């Protein structure tokens, strides 16, 4: 099955979040990717085993074939919407709070799901 036929929207992703020492993050350069973006509320669990875990409600859910990182940022649009100084905050990008990697029945492909807040 070709999963890419389900992805018909463009989004900008700021990945590789690194704590900046001031309570925020620095990110790698933004990249454009093809996704399925749904502005929908879903309950999900955020956190890690052994750490604090909380149940949250998403603002948006993203499906893609690309891996995501928790605390990365996503914006529904394209790189053409950004200028050379645009940041994730400038664009109103949402933060990835939780991710899942779901195999197909044959386990030869994976669907990635990200919950944004």
Per-residue model confidence as pLDDT tens digits over 76-99: 999 999 998 888 999 999 999 999
Q: From CA 22, how far away is CA 65, in angstroms rounded?
A: 32
- The total number of structural domains in the chain stands at 1
Q: From CA 28, how far away is CA 47, in angstroms rounded?
A: 22
Domain region containing 47: 6-116
Domain presence at residue 63: yes
Domain presence at residue 61: yes
Q: From CA 92, how far away is CA 62, in angstroms rounded?
A: 16
CATH number for the domain spanning 109: value is 2.40.10
Residue 6 pLDDT: 84
What parts of the chain have a pLDDT lower than 70?
1
Domain presence at residue 45: yes
């Amino acid at each position: 099955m070709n999963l890419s036929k389900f992805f018909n929207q463009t989004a900008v992703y700021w990945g590789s979040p690194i704590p900046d020492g001031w309570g925020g993050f620095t990110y790698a350069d933004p990249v454009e990717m093809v996704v399925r973006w749904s502005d929908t509320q879903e309950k999900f669990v955020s956190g890690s085993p052994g750490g604090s875990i909380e149940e949250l409600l998403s603002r948006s859910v993203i499906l893609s074939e690309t891996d995501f990182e928790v605390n990365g940022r996503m914006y529904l649009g394209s790189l053409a919407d950004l200028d050379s100084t645009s940041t994730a905050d400038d664009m109103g990008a949402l933060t990835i709070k939780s991710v899942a990697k779901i195999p197909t029945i044959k386990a030869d492909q994976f669907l990635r799901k990200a919950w944004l807040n």
